[in-house]
């Protein structure tokens, strides 16, 4: 990242000259002067020359992200909806081909189909948006809004298309990436080769090769400010600065580092860093749904960094922690909570094609896992072999099989995330078990009383007529049978004249098909009726064949059917009149007797009431008044018990699926077009993949093995990727600048030997984050001064050789927290949910906490003030490096935003109050200015700055007004010295 321009003389010179030395008719003049001066100081003279303009070739990270967008969003849509008519292998309707880049560039009969950067002028966008009645594509129906939006974004971002141009007069050239067998040709897939040299030796050796010399050490005050912000995300207190400057020991710096690492503020700051990588959020864009338990994952990260939890263990926690329970209850809880990582994705829960929803959710999980831990764009292999990296489609679906054997959502018309009761210590578990037991007893008694009131007391001997039931019902008498099934009426209740069982022979060879005739198109809840008994199968297999999928359900027929003692729900499914709509029950691998009675198809948009039978008549000999009174008493008790159960802590997570299955490759990414089945496994080009794949059995999803494969020290990516992140968090940019992409389209490391040394150090020190941080910040490289050496800039304009330190802009959280520190309002409380009770949606949420920014709810539809303006991470995707925009609205916000104005006012009140006490007012004014500079910049004002400030406050002998002091503080906030670290 290029250094921001160096300030000339004092950072407030231009601003304060305008502010203090001119009579001002109104505040707008101040604001505009600030905007011009601050924007000029930040952008630098290169703006006029176009240095910050759009380069002909985008930065590599942007290229990689745009390529991924094409591969994940655009290519699959082109294949599914367009290429049947618009490819070199078909008729090329209208002369337009879309299977190559030059195809849409040349266009068809109407000219170019796309104008990169201008979606409104692009005929392709007009066609798919159905904006022109004469040009509507595809002709069989408009694409969904999400796909159209994806195309718009692709075009607006330049229509990056990695496909090779077609050779003149021939077929498009097939683009191939790095094969698995040649993966070692790329630096990231080779084993880590650690050097014995130190950070400084490796950096300085490279400087010497380029004829450069290292900058001198940073001035102590600047170094303290840099260090505290880098480790805590907070400004250093004046006491911290003075204590460091007063310590003559050569170990003073190392002692300060250890102090900072031991503070909980370090854990908070590094937790927030990792939250960018894992797309942490507390709501879903769809309808603004709140994720009320997401905060526990945030607190897990704080707990982990505070305890210097080995990072390899953090990997295991986040991928498979729910499967790694142990005797220590705190450890068990934290491991379980960590799996919230897998559940934070921003999915479209309204998608009615639940198979597609599940595979989209899996894709999001794999993409996040790949980027966060391995810096690999795994999602690009969903539709075809990765175009650049050694990731075949079969490897993608080997990984997808692991996540497919995990349940991430509970499906209904609107699917929902999964929350589970948090594991508790034995005494608390016993308490909740007792409450649940009592609730079950009360519920059972209530059911009996309700039966008494309706005349259904005693043993359930019902024989339910098919005609009395709602929806479409198929009795066992109307089903088709394979094998011999025996009729019975031994156990009641049942539907129709009886039910059937599979007998004692022919296990695995018998099945029954319920196939209703002309079932109307719609969505139905499918229910199965059976009679329960101790000799029944616990694993009867029932398959529902609906409009676009088949679903397997295992039914435990020893348990009483949960719905009216007669039915169990198999789920809600879409059916089409001309499509498949049947249910098959089989005795495959059954461990007991399999029962078939009836299948009911209930329309989900309402059910007609079932007809009453003579058995529904009220019993004349029951004291209905006493029954009603007792029922009322028990209902109140049950409500209280349920309230107690609802207070049990829950956590956001996923579940292991049953059964665990291998899955088929989805041809071209189409979830309903199946190819070859692949065994669950990992990326075959990376590390000990086969060794861990061989360990995956039928008793688990494979998530444990996935975590172990990623965390294995011999995996060449994991330690490199994390070490690179830590370096970036401290130095401003990674040794590999594309922090989420170590593939062939990512950047090469600026110092490969240093990267491997850091990765090896991380592993050798037990994957300790604190140890790695200490190693980096104690190096001379970290402690160097920021310089504007022309020789260095000529050779290394982006400071990738680290001859000096780089100026770093504070992230928005640190900017906000620093203002709260100056105003004295910041609240240092740790952990817990911070969502206002009763919040049901994130829309227009008012963020009014004074706690650290880490604790502000991350709502995808309502970010806290300033966050969007100052480049907060996109919480829907894994972010390795935040953007660094410099735009006029940022400067305007520093002068006009009501939140910032209020912080300045509160700070003015604080410092005026602190200065009271009988001191001379001129001394008080001077003291206020000096303390403000220490709090804002970590230094005292020089003579010129002090005089500017005192003149504005009315002179040394005047008592500063609250308004003037607030304006002064706001000007300090607006300075680039406040927002940048040297």
The answer to whether 123 and 111 are in contact (CB under 8 A) is yes
pLDDT value at position 657? 84
Q: Tell me: pLDDT of 852 over 90.
A: yes
Q: Residue 661: name the closest of 680, 646, 644, 645 by CA.
A: 680
Average pLDDT over residues 859-870: 94
- Residue 25 token pair: 């008719």
* Bridge partner residues of 283 (DSSP): 290
Average pLDDT over residues 607-618: 36
* Bridge partner residues of 809 (DSSP): 980
* Bridge partner residues of 536 (DSSP): 593
pLDDT tens readout for residues 659-713: 787 999 998 889 999 999 999 999 999 989 999 999 999 889 999 999 999 999 9
Cα–chain center distance at 298:
12
pLDDT value at position 170? 43
pLDDT value at position 339? 98
Give the model's confidence band at 4: pLDDT under 50 very low, under 70 low, under 90 confident, else very high: very low
User: CA geometry: angle at 869 spanning 12 and 44, to 5°?
Assistant: 40
Poorest-pLDDT segment among 60-69, 93-102, 581-590: 60-69
pLDDT value at position 167? 47
Residue 96: other Cβ atoms inside 10 A: 24
The answer to whether 915 and 928 are in contact (CB under 8 A) is yes
SS (H, E, C) 455-466: CCCCCCCCEECH
Enumerate long-range contacts of 787-795, CB under 8 Å, 24 or more apart. Answer: 787/215, 788/3, 788/6, 789/215, 791/212, 792/212, 792/215, 795/210, 795/211, 795/212
Give the model's confidence band at 296: pLDDT under 50 very low, under 70 low, under 90 confident, else very high: very high
In angstroms, the CA 937 to CA 238 distance is 10
Poorest-pLDDT segment among 25-39, 89-103, 355-369, 619-633: 25-39
pLDDT tens readout for residues 302-361: 999 999 999 999 999 999 999 998 999 999 999 999 999 999 999 999 998 999 999 999
Poorest-pLDDT segment among 246-255, 392-401, 495-504, 780-789: 495-504
pLDDT value at position 18? 33
In angstroms, the CA 781 to CA 796 distance is 16
Higher pLDDT, 578 or 88: 578
Higher pLDDT, 729 or 137: 729
pLDDT value at position 954? 85
Poorest-pLDDT segment among 373-382, 572-581, 938-947: 572-581
pLDDT value at position 830? 93
Please give the share of the chain, as a percent, with pLDDT higher than 70: 86
Rg, the chain, Cα only:
33
- Is the peptide bond between 659 and the residue preceding it cis, with omega within 30 degrees of 0? yes
Q: Tell me: pLDDT of 818 over 90.
A: yes
Give the model's confidence band at 165: pLDDT under 50 very low, under 70 low, under 90 confident, else very high: low
In angstroms, the CA 811 to CA 802 distance is 21
Q: Which residues contact 407 (CB under 8 A, 6 or more apart)?
A: 418, 654, 655, 656, 657
Average pLDDT over residues 406-417: 91
pLDDT value at position 89? 60
In angstroms, the CA 935 to CA 242 distance is 12
Q: Tell me: pLDDT of 428 over 60.
A: yes
Q: What is the chain's mean pLDDT, rounded?
A: 86
pTM of the entire structure? 0.74
pLDDT tens readout for residues 730-747: 999 999 999 999 999 999
* Bridge partner residues of 554 (DSSP): 541
pLDDT value at position 175? 44
Q: Tell me: pLDDT of 970 over 60.
A: yes
pLDDT tens readout for residues 173-222: 444 579 999 999 999 999 999 888 999 999 999 999 999 999 999 999 99
In angstroms, the CA 824 to CA 821 distance is 5
- Residue 965 token pair: 């002091």
Average pLDDT over residues 420-446: 89
Q: Residue 268: name the closest of 928, 848, 851 by CA.
A: 851
Q: Are strands 463-464 and 494-495 parallel, antiparallel or unpaired?
A: parallel
Strands (E), 614-668: 650-653, 655-656, 663-666
Poorest-pLDDT segment among 84-88, 829-833, 897-901, 941-945: 84-88
pLDDT tens readout for residues 97-149: 887 887 877 777 677 889 999 888 888 888 888 887 767 788 767 888 888 98
Q: Tell me: pLDDT of 58 over 90.
A: no
Q: Tell me: pLDDT of 544 over 60.
A: yes
Q: Tell me: pLDDT of 50 over 70.
A: no
Poorest-pLDDT segment among 14-23, 237-246, 342-351, 964-973: 14-23
The listed range with the strongest mean pLDDT (845-854, 878-887, 953-962) is 845-854
Give the model's confidence band at 621: pLDDT under 50 very low, under 70 low, under 90 confident, else very high: very low
Residue 362: other Cβ atoms inside 10 A: 25
pLDDT value at position 75? 83
Buried b (16+ CB within 10 A) or exposed e, 385-399: bbbbbbbbbbbbbbb
Higher pLDDT, 48 or 557: 557
């Amino acid at each position: 990242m290029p250094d921001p321009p160096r300030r000339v003389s004092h950072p407030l010179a231009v601003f304060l000259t305008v502010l203090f030395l001119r009579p001002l008719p109104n505040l707008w003049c101040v604001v505009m002067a600030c905007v011009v001066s601050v924007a000029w100081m930040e952008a630098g003279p290169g703006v006029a020359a176009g240095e910050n303009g759009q380069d002909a070739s985008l930065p590599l990270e942007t290229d990689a992200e745009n390529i991924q967008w094409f591969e994940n969003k655009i290519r699959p849509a082109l294949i599914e909806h367009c290429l049947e008519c618009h490819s070199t292998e078909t008729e090329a309707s209208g002369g337009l081909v879309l299977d190559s880049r030059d195809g849409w560039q040349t266009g068809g009969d109407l000219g170019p189909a796309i104008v990169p950067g201008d979606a409104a002028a692009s005929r392709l966008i007009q066609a798919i948006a159905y904006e022109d009645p004469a040009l509507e594509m595809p002709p069989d129906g408009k694409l969904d809004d999400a796909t159209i939006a994806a195309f718009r974004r692709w075009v607006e971002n330049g229509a990056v298309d990695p496909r090779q141009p077609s050779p003149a007069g021939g077929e498009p050239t097939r683009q191939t990436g790095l094969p698995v067998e040649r993966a070692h040709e790329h630096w990231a897939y080779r084993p880590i080769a650690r050097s014995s040299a130190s950070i400084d030796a490796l950096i300085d050796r490279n400087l010497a090769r380029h004829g450069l010399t290292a900058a001198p050490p940073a001035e102590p005050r600047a170094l303290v400010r840099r260090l505290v912000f880098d480790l805590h995300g907070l400004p250093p207190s004046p006491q911290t600065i003075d204590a460091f400057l007063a310590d003559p020991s050569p170990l003073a710096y190392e002692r300060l580092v250890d102090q900072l690492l031991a503070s909980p503020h370090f854990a908070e700051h590094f937790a927030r860093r990792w939250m960018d990588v894992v797309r942490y959020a507390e709501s879903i864009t769809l309808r603004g749904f709140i994720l009320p338990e997401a905060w526990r994952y945030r607190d897990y990260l704080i707990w982990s960094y505070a305890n210097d939890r080995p990072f390899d263990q953090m990997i295991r926690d986040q991928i498979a922690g729910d499967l790694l329970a142990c005797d220590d209850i705190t450890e068990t809880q934290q491991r379980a909570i960590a799996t919230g990582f897998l559940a934070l994705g921003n999915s479209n829960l309204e998608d009615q094609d639940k198979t597609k929803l599940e595979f989209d959710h899996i894709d999001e999980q794999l993409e996040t896992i790949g980027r966060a831990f391995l810096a690999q764009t795994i999602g690009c292999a969903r539709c075809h072999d990765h175009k650049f990296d050694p990731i075949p489609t079969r490897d993608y679906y080997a990984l997808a099989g692991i996540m497919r054997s995990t349940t991430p959502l509970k499906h209904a018309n609107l699917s929902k995330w999964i929350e589970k009761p948090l594991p508790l210590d034995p005494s608390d578990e016993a308490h909740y078990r007792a409450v649940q037991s009592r609730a079950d007893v009360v519920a059972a008694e209530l059911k009996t009383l309700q039966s008494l009131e309706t005349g259904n007391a005693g043993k359930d001997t019902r024989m339910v007529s098919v005609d009395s039931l709602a929806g479409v019902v198929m009795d066992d008498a109307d089903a088709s049978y394979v094998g011999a099934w025996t009729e019975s009426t031994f156990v009641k209740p049942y539907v129709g004249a009886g039910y059937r069982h599979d007998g004692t022979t022919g296990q695995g060879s018998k099945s029954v098909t319920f196939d209703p005739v002309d079932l109307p198109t719609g969505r139905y809840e499918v229910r199965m009726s059976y009679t329960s008994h101790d000799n029944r199968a616990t694993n009867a297999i029932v398959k529902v064949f609906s409009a676009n999928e088949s679903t397997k359900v295992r039914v435990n027929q020893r348990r009483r059917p949960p719905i009216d003692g007669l039915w169990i729900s198999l789920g809600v499914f879409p059916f089409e009149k001309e499509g498949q709509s049947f249910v098959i029950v089989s005795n495959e691998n059954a461990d007991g007797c399999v029962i078939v009675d009836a299948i009911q198809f209930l329309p989900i948009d309402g059910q007609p009431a079932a007809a009453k039978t003579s058995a529904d008549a009220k019993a004349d000999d029951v004291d209905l008044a006493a029954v009603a009174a007792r029922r009322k008493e028990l209902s109140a008790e049950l409500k209280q018990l349920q309230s107690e159960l609802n207070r049990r802590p829950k956590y956001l997570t996923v579940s292991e699926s049953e059964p665990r299955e291998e899955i088929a490759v989805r041809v071209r990414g189409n979830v309903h077009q199946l190819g070859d089945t692949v065994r669950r496994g990992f990326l075959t080009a990376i590390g000990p993949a086969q060794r861990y794949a061989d360990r995956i059995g039928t008793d688990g999803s494979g998530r444990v093995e996935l975590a172990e494969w990623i965390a294995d020290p011999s995996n060449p990516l994991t330690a490199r990727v994390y070490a690179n992140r830590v370096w970036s968090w401290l130095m401003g940019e990674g040794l590999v600048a594309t922090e989420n992409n170590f593939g062939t389209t990512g950047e090469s490391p600026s110092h490969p030997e240093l990267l491997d040394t850091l990765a090896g150090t991380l592993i050798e020190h037990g994957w300790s984050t604190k140890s790695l941080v200490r190693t980096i910040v104690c190096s001379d490289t970290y402690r160097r001064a920021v310089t504007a050496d022309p020789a260095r800039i000529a050779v290394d304009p982006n400071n990738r050789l680290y001859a000096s330190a780089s100026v770093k802009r504070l992230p928005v959280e640190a900017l906000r927290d620093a203002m709260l520190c100056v105003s004295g309002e910041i609240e240092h409380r740790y952990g817990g949910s911070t969502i206002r009770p009763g919040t049901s949606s994130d829309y227009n949420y008012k963020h009014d906490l004074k706690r650290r920014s880490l604790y502000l709810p991350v709502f995808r539809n309502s970010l806290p003030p300033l966050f969007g303006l100052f480049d907060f991470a996109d919480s829907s995707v894994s972010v390795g490096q935040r953007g660094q925009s410099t735009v006029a609205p940022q400067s305007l916000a520093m002068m006009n935003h009501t939140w910032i104005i209020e912080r300045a006012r509160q700070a003015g009140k604080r410092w005026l109050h602190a200065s009271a006490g009988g001191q001379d007012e001129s001394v008080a004014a001077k003291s206020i200015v000096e303390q403000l500079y220490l709090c804002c910049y970590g230094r005292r004002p020089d003579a010129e700055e002090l005089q500017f400030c005192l003149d504005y406050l009315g002179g040394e002998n005047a008592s500063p007004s609250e308004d003037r002091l607030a304006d002064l503080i706001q000007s300090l906030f607006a300075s680039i010295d406040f927002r940048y670290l040297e």
